[in-house]
Amino acid sequence: MEVISALSWAGNYLATIRISDAVDILIVTFLIYKAIWFVRRTNSYNLAKGLILILVALWLSDIFKLTMINSLLKRAVELGLIALLILFQPGCGVCWSAWAAASRQARGRKLRNRAGHRADSAGMYGDVRFPHRRAHNL
């Protein structure tokens, strides 16, 4: 008798599902799939872990009514989303690489190319700072 009542309840519940509900579920599923695919493809696992940690801390601070921490974490999330947009913008990868290379050189590390030879700054970073020169060097 319990099986029949469970099936009856499931049938009544399924009858209330609209097309828009199914479309909503499909869109959310696709977005989650693409987010996981992006994290695996781009080696941004540590970034995703940090983002999840901040969101969990934000959620816990809201549950325990820690207003100051909650306010600070909300600001961090807002600024973090803007920073992610800037960081993952397609044209900024070149800028980030040039900045990272210049900072490594400023710290005095010996930079070596793939063959193990010490590389001069113009030869190693010329392509990064000036991508249009890359075609002429081939």
Q: Mind listing the pLDDT tens digit for each residue in 69-116?
A: 999 999 988 888 887 777 777 655 556 666 666 666 666 555 555 555
Backbone angles phi, psi at 118, to 5 degrees: -65, 130
Q: What is the pLDDT of residue 68?
A: 92
SS3 137: helix
Q: What is the pLDDT of residues 113-137, one digit of tens each?
A: 555 555 554 444 444 555 555 555 5
Which residue matches tokens 């609209």? 18
Tell me the mean pLDDT in the region 53-59. Answer: 92
CA angle 10, 14, 18 (to 5 degrees): 165
Query: What pLDDT does residue 133 have?
Result: 53
pLDDT in tens, 11-51: 888 888 888 988 999 999 999 898 888 777 876 777 778 88
The pTM assigned to this predicted structure is: 0.43
Contact, 118 vs 110, CB < 8 A?
Answer: yes
Look at residue 80 in the predicted model and tell me its pLDDT.
Answer: 82
Q: Count how many residues are written for the chain.
A: 138
Q: Of 62, 63, 82, 86, nearest to 72 (Cα)?
A: 62
Q: Which of 78, 45, 75, 73 is nearest to 59 (CA)?
A: 73
Q: Phi, psi (5° rounding) for residue 112?
A: -125, 145
